[in-house]
Amino acid sequence: MSEMPRLWMRHETRPTEQRAPITPDDARTLTEHGIEVTVEESGQRVFPTVAYAAAGCRVAPRADWVNCPEGYYVLGLKELPSEPSALRNRHIFFGHAYKGQVGARRLLARFAAGGGALLDMEYLVDEDGRRLAAFGYWAGYAGAALAVLHRRGLLAPPLSSFSKDELDAGLRASRRGNPALGTTAVVIGAHGRAGRGACDALETAGIDPTRWDSADTEELDHHALIAHDILVNAIGTVRPVHPFLTEAGLDDPARRLSVLCDVTCDVASEFNAVPVYDKATDWESPVVRLRDGERPLDVIAIDNLPSLIPADASRDFSAQLCPLLLSLRDGSPVWARSLRAFRLASSSMGSQVAGSTETTR
């Protein structure tokens, strides 16, 4: 029988990151199956630390993961702090490092220096390449909701988190007596997780969106695209594609488009399908103007959109991730695929990790 995995859930360094990869209820499931779970203290996490302690988890000081013993899986969601420069252990989080994103080479080099490995949650896939644990629905929902509220003049930064019920109430209220009720929207990637979330939010706001998927983008109708008020890009790709929106499109005199919400946020990557902006936006400044004048155009490109709905998003994601964490004990092929993706990316970036003896057990 293989050794039981040990998990260490770290505090998130980004101040606006309130989600948790595992809820207290699912942490209890893990501990009841014999998996040791350590949870760092965190005042910003949507679930209180005491709830994890009551579920049988050990509690550690904030940021103590750098001192955790060998053999632990360090579990998180978003980026690691810039130090230490050498990363040991096996880390499970969204690394955003395999498509040439900003900081990707340095992150992989840190794993090379410490002999650790990244088991990227984005690459927890089945044998057909389908994602098994994702926040996509909530990213699409939150992103489309922000786009509508901004279009209707109701978005007031800085942003703060809310429940889905609260957000829905705000979207429904925005329909009453608003001069922008004639808003039109197109969602690219409408049949994926993020696209479905975006469409649901738009419908809650009283908008019946145009739904496009991969077949509709093979010969993209640019004039039809820019004839909408809102564009939500929710399509993820692992290969370069012809851009959906370009600088020429922004300056087209026929453009009606006034709000672009890029849920995918592949900024500075060759996979970016809407390369008309050069950096992500954030909770303090969620909207950046791309074109001014009589026909303004704004972009919303927040790379942790689901954290705006932290409790709902975390419960959904945790329910997907918990069975996968239980399978760590048996060396599941899901985790083996994630490790292979790490080695391939490390090798292609020259960080010399491809030959590591790291395993997923």
**Per the structure block, which two tokens stand in for 222?**
């640019």
E strands within the chain? 6-9, 36-40, 58-60, 72-75, 90-93, 117-120, 185-188, 210-212, 230-233, 259-262, 288-291, 297-300
Domain that holds residue 295: 136-308
Same domain, 154 and 301: yes
**Looking at residue 270, which CATH number applies to its domain?**
3.40.50.720
Give CA–CA dist 276/253, Å, rounded: 17
Same domain, 315 and 276: no
**Residue 186 within any structural domain of the chain:** yes
- Give pLDDT tens digits for 56-114: 999 999 999 999 999 999 999 999 999 999 999 999 999 989 877 778 999 999 999 99
At 29, is the secondary structure helix, strand, or coil?
Answer: helix
- Give pLDDT tens digits for 176-216: 876 556 799 999 999 999 999 999 999 999 999 999 998 88
279 annotated active-site: no
**Residue 203 within any structural domain of the chain:** yes
**Residue 339 within any structural domain of the chain:** yes
Give CA–CA dist 96/122, Å, rounded: 8
Catalytic residue among 11, 91, 96, 164: 96
pLDDT above 90: percentage of residues in the chain: 82
- Give pLDDT tens digits for 8-26: 999 999 999 999 999 999 9
Reported confidence tier of residue 219, pLDDT bands at 50, 70, 90: confident
At 244, is the secondary structure helix, strand, or coil?
Answer: coil
**Residue 355 within any structural domain of the chain:** no
Reported confidence tier of residue 354, pLDDT bands at 50, 70, 90: very low
- Give pLDDT tens digits for 321-340: 999 999 998 879 999 999 99
Same domain, 304 and 320: no
pLDDT of amino acid 227: 97
pLDDT of amino acid 178: 64
pLDDT of residue 353 exceeding 70, the answer is: no
- Give pLDDT tens digits for 281-318: 999 999 999 999 999 999 999 999 999 999 999 999 99
96 annotated active-site: yes
